Amino acid sequence: MTHEIEIETPESDSAAVFGAALSLYEACHEAAARDPSLNLSECYKGMDEFMREMMRVANLFEARACRHIAFEEQSEVWPYFLEDKFGAACLAVMLPGGLAQFDDSDCLRVALHLRLPVRPHVLLRLPVDVAAQNPAVGAAFSAFRIQTVRDAVEGGFTEPFTADDDPIDEEMGEPYFSLYGVGTDGLLEHIADRRTYEEAVTLASKLAPGIKFPTVPVFPLPPPPAY
């Protein structure tokens, strides 16, 4: 996304940091219990260093969440949500012995894994897939759809960039936005590509005056409707 929203940034919540750290602590120890070859003390040259990395990860994620998560769209109590799910989400994107490498890109990976409502930001690669009905009755396209896609760095192919994809995939280029017309039979017809979501919406508005796309999409969006 290249559109950034100016919002008041909430302060980090110590209860949320504690919930995230506790969840990660338990998840790592559960992983060690399942895998006899995993020794957390050896991975971090002592359990004190493991604890420091655990707290660093929790603090980093909470700080980034305060900047990028649309908490008004989050229905669950944030500290409890992190306590329940943060540790498992972290270990879904990295090994329990690799917390020292956890960085901003991993914060995004974890947020997308948790299906958190992430605000668009110039530095974030967010998957977008949103559709709007064509207000013109009897038109060839019953709706229009905007979806993020990416080109392979090598291989010359293009594929959709979805919520299940790694946002920091080095084999794929920067996401851009494809506009599709949706026929009455539900089939998609590619119309054009645009660098930003706003440019894609502008083009759709020219093709279908009065069409109503969200001004700024917040991830995750509901799935496009069936036609």
Least reliable range by pLDDT among 64-68, 112-116, 156-160, 221-225: 221-225
- Which of left, alpha, beta for 59 (phi over 0: left; psi -120 to 50: alpha)? alpha
Contact criterion met (CB below 8 Å) for 86 and 57: no
Confidence (pLDDT) at 123: 52
59, 222, 34, 31: which is closest to 131 by C-alpha?
Answer: 222
Average pLDDT rounded to a whole number, residues 161-173: 84
Quickly state the pLDDT bin for 80 (edges 50, 70, 90): very high
**140 C-beta neighbours (distance < 10 Å), count:** 11
The whole-chain average pLDDT of the chain stands at 87
Concatenating the DSSP letter of every residue in 157-190 gives -EEE--TTS-TT-TTB---EEEEEEEETTS-EEE
Q: Where are the domains of the chain?
A: 14-113, 129-207
Predicted confidence (pLDDT) at residue 156 exceeds the cutoff of 90: no
Summarised one tens digit per residue, pLDDT across range 93-132 is 899 999 999 998 899 889 888 888 887 665 567 788 889 9
Average pLDDT rounded to a whole number, residues 131-138: 91
19, 5, 15: which is closest to 68 by C-alpha?
Answer: 5
Confidence (pLDDT) at 102: 94
The SS3 assignment for 128 reads: coil
Summarised one tens digit per residue, pLDDT across range 25-68 is 999 999 999 999 999 999 999 999 999 999 999 999 999 999 88
Contact criterion met (CB below 8 Å) for 218 and 120: yes
Confidence (pLDDT) at 162: 84
Rounded distance between C-alpha atoms, residue 181 and residue 34, angstroms: 50
